Chain A
Amino acid sequence: MPRSVYDVIVLGAGSVGVPAGWAMAESGLSVLVLDPFASSGQGSNKAAIGGIRATHSDPAKIRLGLRSLEIARTWKDTYGDDIEWTTGGYSFVAYSPREETILKDLLVIQKRYGLDIEWYGRDGLLEIVPPLRPDGLMGGTFSPGDGHCSPLLFGHALYERAKGAGVDFHFGEAAAGIEVRDGRVRGVTTSKGRYGTRVVVNAAGPWAADVGRLVGLVHPVRPDSHEGGITEPVAPFFGPMVVDIAPAPGSANYYFYQLATGQVVFCITPSPSLWGFDRRETSAFLPMVAGRMVRLMPTLANLRVRRTWRGLYPMTPDGSPIVGWAREIDGYLMAIGLCGQGFMLGPGLGELLARAVQGETTPEDEEILELLSPYRVFKGQEALK
């Protein structure tokens, strides 16, 4: 008979839910992960382009990023699967005083947290990213410890580990209701049945607000679309993730890197934002991103685009994730609003969530939870979201 009572039920088998379920199972909990898609990572996880960095500007994300980076970087040595991890670094480039000022200001904060990141002038940066257009380049930052891996392989490797640790995954099955009695989570109902539990983790990504409604809570999470694409593979010709934060008509920033297998993956942040759940491709994206990319790195002109897609960023009012227990309902844990960084923060966040459920949070965890509290006052925007 299938099991019907679990210590924890995680809603969402994506960037956050899978590593969270895994860490919880490893800590001895029985875990069920529910997801309406047919297999793991089919929501926004597979739309991620694969960059993982610690060089954020906010201490909570820096710490989660550092831990996630460590998990990804050591994955092959620890578990044996090749997730195509490459410590290629991140390079934020400046072709105007505006970007130079923003990046140099941030550098101060980043260095304060001990991050390995430096400013390089034009010639120095060209040594790090040779195919950049030299004309007009003022310099940029480079953080050699950041990197990238195949989002598909890493996502799936985490899923395999979670399964191996005993997590039950039910696909094609969404939560239809969350039972709350006497102010405490008691179970989850789906189209296929009822499962008893005392802990529900909302890891539903862009659909987090829908899950919140099941317990009568309003989560300030709403998705916007970012558009990505991938090219044909070519011989390696640059290493780091290149990020251009200069605004241009139609877009706020864009970034791209070359995978270990030779393809260049790229993504753009539309401006104004494309709010909503519509993930259908539009005609505007490719000419816009292509123009920006070939102006920045002219060598890319001869590289063929193979595929394009949209992914949903579950945005919060201040651009930082919302993580923590609900005060209104015992046993309802939020790990939502990752603002498009679920892939790069999820593995570290998953471990923190497991400690939270086990009641074993560290002082550092508490600081993170304080910063990411659902009950914080939302103001401002994180600089490098």
Chain B
Amino acid sequence: MTRIEGHPIVRKERGTPFNFTFAGKTVSAYPGETIASALFAAGVRVFGHHPKDGSPQGLFCANGQCSQCMVLADGFAVKACMTPAAPRLCVEPLDGLPRLPRIDRAPETTEPERKDVSVLILGGGPAGLSAAIELGSRGVDVLVVDDKDRLGGKLVLQTHRFFGSIDAVHAGTRGIDIASRLEGRVRDLPSVDVWLDSTAVAVFSDGLVGVLRGAAYALVRPRVLLVATGAREKSLVFKGNTLPGVYGAGAFQTLVNRDLVRASERLFIVGGGNVGLIAGYHALQAGIHVVGLVEALPECGGYKVHKDKLARMGVPIYTSHTILSANGTEGVESVTVAAIDKGFRPVPGTERSYACDTVLIAVGLDPVDEFRKAAAEFGLPMYAAGDAEEIAEASAAIFAGKIKGLEIARALGATADEVPAAWSRMGEILKSKPGAAVERTALDRYLSGVAGAVYPVFHCSQEIPCNPCTSVCPQKLIAIDETDLRRLPEFRGADAGKACIGCERCVTICPGLAITLVDERGGSDPVVTVPFEFPGDRFSAGDRVVVLDDIGTPLGEVSVLEVKALAKNDRTVLVKVRAPRAIAARIAGIRVQEPWISEPLPEAVEPLGDDAIVCRCERVTAGEIRARIREGYRDMNEIKIVTRAGMGACGGKTCTALIQRLFREEAVPLTDVTENVRRPLFVEVPLGVLAGALDEAASRRASAPARGKGAK
């Protein structure tokens, strides 16, 4: 594991490296880098061992939420994922319980900072920023609170071009660049205040919201609360599920796309939704081998263009398969998967193991809903937008935030404008699930109808809300049914009396990399232009490459004519190949990963021990929970009392859904189950910070210290 150099999309000025130590060994870091990322770059994945059972602990959420990555920094226990490395910092693994550094002198204590604001927006991601723009542009005073050191939320991890509508949600632009645009607009609004490195930790019944701001505690009293806290990843119960190297796609994207750390050499993905599919693509871009992907359902739930894109790069996708175990002692060494039957039971004899160092769990998202639930319980004026309200694409979150922003502005009397019906419709369309894949007959038409010409071929065959291709064609020859941007694009070609001029703009902008250009004008074999988001120097003219059809079936080996890496194409490289006429229009991609990478181990690996963990914080196994359910326990609070599941640092953020799942597996309907009570704080806060005792020691202990503007 090292840092990623020459990433095709992300450019980063790293600054001057410095050294710190981990367990006595020198580790190098760059300014702004977290301890966790620097350790990963140095190949360290075990950050300590759990006090209960000595199990290895490491990075899990990479988001400041779970406390699995605690290390000792100069003697203070800190979250490695949120704490920046610093020159000469002495970092030690946290083995067992940390020792609290002794202080004899009483600190000066102060009252928390208090702030009144019309609208408090929790989360500066796509939904929160869009709402802030609507509110701020109408002069409403807004405070945006975000726990990271820059705005954008998960947009800053998204290196791919976005789907959706160009006009409504910047479709065709990369997520990272949408983040910058939204941030720029928010920063221009004088009535919008932004607190970075600030974590909302509780909503109280007296209407105040507790915020850990850098190393200080603040209480904010909003007239309206907008919860735009996004989502957290679901987890899964399998043997070895807490080994270092098993984590969610969000953590992976943070390491790879934010910090440019090659967090893995060989990655295996569990879950074929958009999150897993996109993470696989991001891994390939980072030079990481993607050994395979399993999806429990017979078809991937994500966009077909994402799935096809991954398949075209050479990644095998096993549907109706599940993970049985992650295997290893101090980290993942292999994964064992199996086919499953209609009842989702593994089919004996189908077990296969693959060598890998990382297993990405991407089995869906749950709203971060604790703030919403608390505000609702206390009857506070509250709105929710984005994933915190309903899990959907980031493009949908951008638009949902805009709608909620206007609704709040209206509720506060800042405008008389109502939400236009067209907005509501667009909001619904952007949230819609992909349609069924359709047969495309157009392909044949292209082959017969425009022979001898140049023409685009659309390899998207599933209705999703997306339209960038229609807006870039200078000849206006690409159209989508105007009443619904989910319809498939059509090339009007000869019907319109105008011809494609081969400008390649549609090829470049398609977020799914699903448009190619076939040029038959030369008379000999056609030239096919294929979009490619890998370093432009990967191929050069004359190289032989394997081309594949839209779903990844190899079509043959062809020669590269030209590689075009133009600045105006925003990091999308165009590769021109000459291919026989029989396959030219079917070519949709160029293989980047060799088949040997995906070969299974000679024999399936049996996992060590029975350690499928449900509560990561307290190391409670699925077996312990199942036993209680079978004894008749129906109150999750009682399960918590006897097993400690949910009592840990994260407060049941991961295990609550897993316990509910075990109930279902044990044929207990959730209507018979009493849900566990969730109490604040939602993120731990040092007593010294709550007391306003801003000495140096307390500052260090705060979850998100001295990295950005909130530095003390």
User: Could you list which residues of chain A lie within 8 angstroms of chain B, going by C-beta atoms?
Assistant: 37-42, 46, 131, 133-135, 152-153, 155-156, 171, 231-235, 237, 262, 278, 280-284, 286-287, 290-291, 293-296, 298-309
Contact = CB atoms under 8 A, between A and B. Distances in A.
B390 to A, nearest CB: 27
A281 B204 contact: yes
A153 B684 contact: no
Given A41-B641, A298-B107, A286 B690 contact: yes
Nearest to B674: A38
A284 B685 CA distance: 15
Contacts of B97: 233-235, 262
29 contacts: A39-B674, A42-B637, A134-B104, A135-B106, A156-B641, A171-B635, A232-B67, A232-B684, A234-B98, A235-B100, A280-B204, A280-B205, A286-B681, A286-B685, A290-B109, A293-B691, A294-B106, A294-B109, A294-B691, A294-B693, A295-B109, A301-B103, A301-B698, A302-B76, A303-B687, A305-B684, A305-B690, A307-B679, A308-B680
Contacts of A307: 651, 679-681
Contacts of B674: 38-39
A208 B162 CA distance: 60
Interface string B380-408: 00000000000000000000000000000
B687 A231 contact: yes
A42 B635 contact: yes
Contacts of A131: 102
Contacts of A262: 51, 97
Interface string B84-122: 000000000000111111111111010110000000000
B99 A280 contact: no
Contacts, number: 177
B654 to A, nearest CB: 15
B422 interface: no
B679 A155 contact: no
Interface of B: 51, 67, 76-77, 96-107, 109, 111-112, 202, 204-206, 208, 210, 217, 219, 377-378, 633-635, 637-638, 640-642, 649, 651, 674, 679-681, 684-688, 690-693, 695, 697-698, 700-701
Contact of A46 (B202, B637, B651, B685): B637
B693 A38 contact: no
Contacts of A133: 104-106
B204 A302 contact: no
A309 B686 CA distance: 17
B206 A283 contact: yes
A304 B686 contact: yes
A287 B112 CA distance: 7
Contacts of A37: 635
Nearest to A236: B97
Contacts of B695: 301
A306 B106 contact: no
B230 to A, nearest CB: 23
Contact of B637 (A39, A283, A287): A39
Contact of B635 (A38, A155, A235): A38
A287 B680 contact: no
B103 A282 contact: no
Nearest to B202: A281
Nearest to A237: B100
B638 A39 contact: yes
Given A155-B641, A290-B691, A305 B649 contact: no
Given A301-B697, A305-B690, A40 B638 contact: yes
B72 to A, nearest CB: 11
Nearest to B99: A235
A298 B106 contact: yes
Nearest to A300: B687
B635 A301 contact: no
A289 B192 CA distance: 33
A134 B97 CA distance: 26
A299 B637 contact: no
B677 to A, nearest CB: 8
A298 B104 contact: yes
A140 B409 CA distance: 58
A184 B428 CA distance: 65
A260 to B, nearest CB: 12
A277 to B, nearest CB: 13
A287 B692 contact: yes
Contacts of A38: 634-635, 637-638, 674
A278 B379 CA distance: 14
A303 B100 contact: yes
A302 B635 contact: no
Contacts of A291: 109, 690-693
Contacts of B685: 286, 304-305
Contact of B206 (A171, A234, A284): A284
A286 B103 contact: no
Nearest to A301: B688
A235 B688 contact: no
B364 to A, nearest CB: 27
B109 A282 contact: no
Contacts of A152: 640-641
Contacts of B205: 278, 280-282
B681 A135 contact: no
Nearest to A131: B102
A375 B651 CA distance: 46
Given A290-B690, A294-B109, A306 B649 contact: yes
A156 B679 contact: no
B686 A282 contact: no
A234 B635 CA distance: 29
Contacts of B112: 287
Nearest to A135: B106
Contacts of A234: 77, 97-100
B93 to A, nearest CB: 15
Contact of A294 (B96, B107, B651): B107
A39 B635 contact: yes
B619 to A, nearest CB: 12
Given A295-B106, A301-B107, 14 more contacts: A135-B105, A152-B641, A156-B638, A156-B642, A234-B97, A280-B204, A281-B202, A295-B107, A299-B100, A299-B102, A303-B686, A304-B685, A306-B651, A308-B202
Contacts of B637: 38-39, 42, 46
A281 B681 CA distance: 10
Contacts of B96: 235
Indicate the member of A153, A235, A301 with the most B CB atoms within 10 Å: A301
Nearest to A229: B681
A22 to B, nearest CB: 17
B679 A298 contact: no
B649 A294 contact: no
A305 B681 CA distance: 8
A306 B681 contact: yes
B107 A282 contact: no
Contacts of A290: 109, 687-688, 690-691
